[in-house]
Chain A
Amino acid sequence: MLASTASRWLHTARLGIGEHYRIIQSNPLSRIGFRLIVVFLVIAAFAPWIAPHDPWEMVYDKDGQFASLRPPSWEFPLGTTHLGYDLFSQLVLAARTTLVIGAVSGIISILIGANIGLIAGYYGGKVDEVLMRLTDILYGMPFLPFIIVLIALFGRKLEFVILAIVLIIWRTSARVIRAQTISIKQRQFILAAKARGASDLRIIYRHILPNVLPLLLLYAAFNIAWSIITEASASFLGFGDGETISWGGMLYELWLSGKTRVAWWWFAAPSICIVLLVTSLVFVSRAYEEVANPRLRKR
């Protein structure tokens, strides 16, 4: 039974890919966004092979000179830092951390948000009351003091950065998916499913979930974008993981070096990457928004 349920899910998921492809291709911006995301993914996946240097290796130019604060050149395409680190290598390796943090916290937060939203919306009553008070409490919690406390207690660790991001981000998706669930559960096909004998869990995950899927993917993209921004600000403020390098962390190093006014290239590369990746995610999510919210559809 379990196996057959799983295989049906796979079947549905596989059939869904064509649909997702169509959604993404449906508009030029999301097409560009999707390609950029793929490029970033490839860079992240092959980062160690792409990066010519170790991120914390002091580099020398071909004349044997210590390469400190060099602007972009053929030799150092994105320039170097004041300590002679190659920014191109840093950027490529940082893509990996940034994408992993974005994807992991984005996906965990949407999983939590979606389940809480579905359950609160479907059951209503006391269950809804408790879950929504919980989200209200989290809404009142500002991010920075929260992450400061976490870092103070547990140290600068990637896991806690992700934990802090997830705890802050899931709440919005929970609310939106709850609202959508409430509207879908009143539709007659849900009553029909009940009449055929479907249990509550079956109705939630087999009948309602596919109908909130476009909205869910929209918020998955939002959540990933927000995670990346949040991680960048946390790193910039010095709350990132000290062991790994991320785009936000690169900007933090720039800030610490005091060279902000001179080393424009050091500022440019990570900022442009953050903006490009977040914009790409927003573009792709826009395509899903049109599916989730038919009123936006032009047809």
Chain B
Amino acid sequence: MALIELNQLTRHFEIRPGLVDRTVRGKPSRLIKAVESLNIAVGENEILGIAGESGCGKSTTCMMIAGLLPPTRGQIIYRGSDLATADAAVRKEHRRNVQMIFQDPYESLNPRFRVADIVAEGPRALRLWDQKEIGDRVESMLAGVGLNPGKYTERFPHELSGGERQRVGIASALVMQPVMIIADEPLSMLDVSIRAGILDLFRELQDQRGFSSVYVSHDLAILGNVADRLMVMYLGQAMEVGPVEQVIRSPKHPYTRALIGAVAVPDPRVKRPVPKISGDISRPIDPPPGCRFAPRCPYADDSCHDTFLELDTSDPTRHQAACHRLHVLPDEGL
């Protein structure tokens, strides 16, 4: 049984125009279709990477999996039970077991809390252990993320560097002993010089503790490094999914090819035909049906504009792309 399974997971945001626009000018409210019909499963001990440009719905997906944002449609299935209809005990277990690491270490720590209280907050809120044990676990957790407890417990967030803050954020999630960590671009707000250190820490902790993870990044190099499987999103839709090396080394979908081509060509001797992308990336406001990449895709035909080919997640090891036109694409060099 998968740890987390997303079934047709969809989230729309309604943007209502101002009162005057709505009543006098008769402007309708519009829908941002931030995430559309995602199907994916994450197994125990597996790391699923999610890649995509900013605004493609990565954070929205994370928030839904963490139970912080209700889906518009579709299900989040945690160890076999649908969270929307699950009883309180299951939801409480999910709340503890699926923890999130936030993108912005400057915004995600309460400025009025000391480090020890930030890390102890989850166990205290859920009353996981008695106070003494919580204190002990907080100390060893801080040591585990490379922060000397004697030096850091009494500090406030403003007394820490960005990297130290992100370590505190990681400690506050991991002290709960979760089975899944959702990491929403945990490195993107950090200095390039300290990213490697935090990434190593993440992998080391993952090795020791064996949690599974949804790791979001727009950096394919990082994802290639940490993830087992990769899902590529574009404006709310999943474009391609598969084992990470396969997706990065032989991308199928025109969008993935463009994305990877734009990042770097790993081997200069390999000539990979990269489709030129035209048009602007926009927000998915009242998008037409069909593939959202179609307006920018050089290979698109009518079928692409009419229907979107959803991925089949029954086989988690399969490498597949949500594209009608794979047969007309030029072969990729491998």
Contact = CB atoms under 8 A, between A and B. Distances in A.
B68 interface: yes
A294 B135 CA distance: 34
Interface string B140-181: 000000000000000000000000000001001100100000
Interface in A186-213: 187-189, 191-199, 202, 207, 210-211, 213
A4 B108 contact: no
Contacts of A213: 112
Contacts of A152: none
B96 interface: yes
Nearest to A3: B131
Given A189-B107, A211-B110, A211-B112, A197 B126 contact: yes
Contact of A188 (B66, B102, B121, B126): B102
A187 B131 CA distance: 28
Nearest to B154: A15
B125 interface: yes
A210 B125 CA distance: 17
Contact of A192 (B102, B111, B127): B102
A1 interface: yes
Nearest to B132: A4
Most buried by A among B111, B112, B113: B112
B137 interface: no
A4 B110 CA distance: 21
A192 B112 contact: no
Contact of B125 (A4, A187, A191, A196): A196
A227 B111 CA distance: 33
Nearest to B109: A189
Given A188-B104, A192-B102, A196-B99, A1 B127 contact: yes
Given A187-B107, A188-B104, A211-B112, A195 B121 contact: no
B53 to A, nearest CB: 21
B122 A189 contact: no
A195 B104 CA distance: 15
A210 B107 contact: no
A212 to B, nearest CB: 10
B125 A207 contact: no
Given A188-B104, A189-B110, A195 B125 contact: no
B102 A197 contact: no
Given A4-B131, A191-B68, A196 B176 contact: yes
Contacts of B125: 193, 196-199, 202
User: In the complex, which range does the number of interface residues on chain B fall in?
Assistant: 20 to 34
A198 B127 CA distance: 10
Contacts of B68: 191, 194-195
Nearest to A187: B107
B95 interface: yes
Interface residues of A, number: 19
Interface in A228-276: none
B109 A197 contact: no
B127 A195 contact: no
Contacts of B173: 195-196
Given A196-B99, A196-B176, A207 B127 contact: no
Given A189-B111, A210-B112, A197 B122 contact: yes
Most buried by A among B109, B121, B122: B121
A196 B173 CA distance: 7
B172 A188 contact: no
Contacts of B126: 196-197
B110 A207 contact: yes
Interface string B287-302: 0000000000000000
Contact of B172 (A1, A196, A207, A210): A196
Interface string A1-14: 10010000000000
Interface string B94-108: 011001101010011
A197 B95 contact: yes
A195 B99 contact: yes
A198 B118 CA distance: 12
A290 B188 CA distance: 33
Interface string B66-100: 10100000000000000000000000100110011
Interface of A: 1, 4, 187-189, 191-199, 202, 207, 210-211, 213
30 contacts: A4-B131, A188-B104, A188-B107, A188-B108, A191-B68, A192-B102, A192-B109, A192-B110, A192-B172, A193-B110, A193-B121, A195-B66, A195-B99, A195-B173, A196-B99, A196-B122, A196-B125, A196-B172, A196-B173, A196-B176, A197-B92, A197-B95, A197-B96, A197-B176, A199-B125, A207-B110, A207-B113, A210-B112, A210-B113, A211-B111
Q: Which 3 A-B pairs have the closest CB atoms?
A: A196-B122, A210-B112, A188-B107
Interface of B: 66, 68, 92, 95-96, 99-100, 102, 104, 107-113, 121-122, 125-127, 131, 169, 172-173, 176
Given A188-B104, A195-B99, A207-B113, 14 more contacts: A189-B109, A189-B110, A191-B102, A192-B100, A192-B102, A192-B169, A193-B125, A195-B66, A195-B68, A195-B100, A196-B125, A197-B122, A197-B125, A210-B112
